[in-house]
Amino acid sequence: MQPKKTWLFLLLAICTGYFSKAQSPDPVKVRVYYKFRFMNDTTARTEFTNESMLLLIGEKMSVYQSYNSYRTDSIIKNRPANTGGGMISVSGVPMSGGSGIGEKQFTILAKNQLLSTNSVFITRYLVDESAKQTQWYITGDTKEIGGITCQKATARVKGRDYAAWFAPELPYSLGPWKLNNLPGLILEASDSKGEVFFELERIASDATTATIEFPDKMTQVSLAEYVKVKAAYDADPEGFRRANAPPPPPGISSMSISNISVSGSPMSGSTNVKRPVFNNKLEKEN
């Protein structure tokens, strides 16, 4: 890595510091379940990644994440303290390169402040994306979704043109992913190329013990700051990793992924297995 890039990374880490959970856990009032479909490979336009997503709405905050991620968080949160730090495994999580399934989007409702989780190498970021509020054009079109009357709105979000259907009778300026800022909850949305779909599965408001909390030990940055760090990593991933990797454990001079083995046999993928193609990104622009 060039000294300039190293300086940039360290400067951001020092100036921003760790984000601490300033707010107490926010009890969940409403749970909105969505089906998310995303086209990873634009050369196979009939094949989609499918994932169940969940929008949790509290009194002060909301969070949007994959349902599998929510289940994993719940297991870890409720795990007895004496069980140790073993790995938690939840089946069915697709490794989708550009869909952002592993990310979470938090909204502080009173401020309409959107914060998204992202990672670059070993650093986890809480990125403030509030400066870019979505500007919607509300049309005169209406339709019913799950028995709820919705209005249509269109906007360009992260480099894609979206049509969204929102419910004015549900007074939440929220929706799936980073689609928000409409006078009602977004129940359905899709992009103009037919590559991204968010579809309502159900809404639940029954009593629950779930709460919304910010994750621990995240470096809070603006969107512009995060873009600079991500660009430095993308320009020279290997150099970035060398410059910012933690020191190896005592007695180990280096840690190379290529040397990892199981029971003395090098790990290698089968040549007969068709590897998924990820040539599409959910976010075309920052």
Q: What DSSP assignment string belongs to 160-182?
A: EEEEEEEETTS-----STT---S
Span 91-101, pLDDT tens digits: 333 334 466 67
Pairwise CA distance, residues 222 & 225, whole Å: 5
Span 114-167, pLDDT tens digits: 999 999 999 999 999 988 889 999 999 999 999 999 999 999 999 999 999 999
More confident residue, 90 or 171: 171
pTM above 0.85, yes or no: no
Pairwise CA distance, residues 115 & 178, whole Å: 9
- 3-state percent breakdown (helix, strand, coil) of the chain, nearest 5: 20, 35, 45
Span 16-73, pLDDT tens digits: 445 545 568 999 999 999 999 999 999 999 999 999 999 999 999 999 999 998 988 7
Q: How many Cβ atoms are within 10 Å of 169's Cβ, its own excluded?
A: 9
Pairwise CA distance, residues 55 & 173, whole Å: 12
User: What are the backbone dihedrals phi and psi of residue 272, each rounded to the nearest 5 degrees, phi first?
Assistant: -90, -10
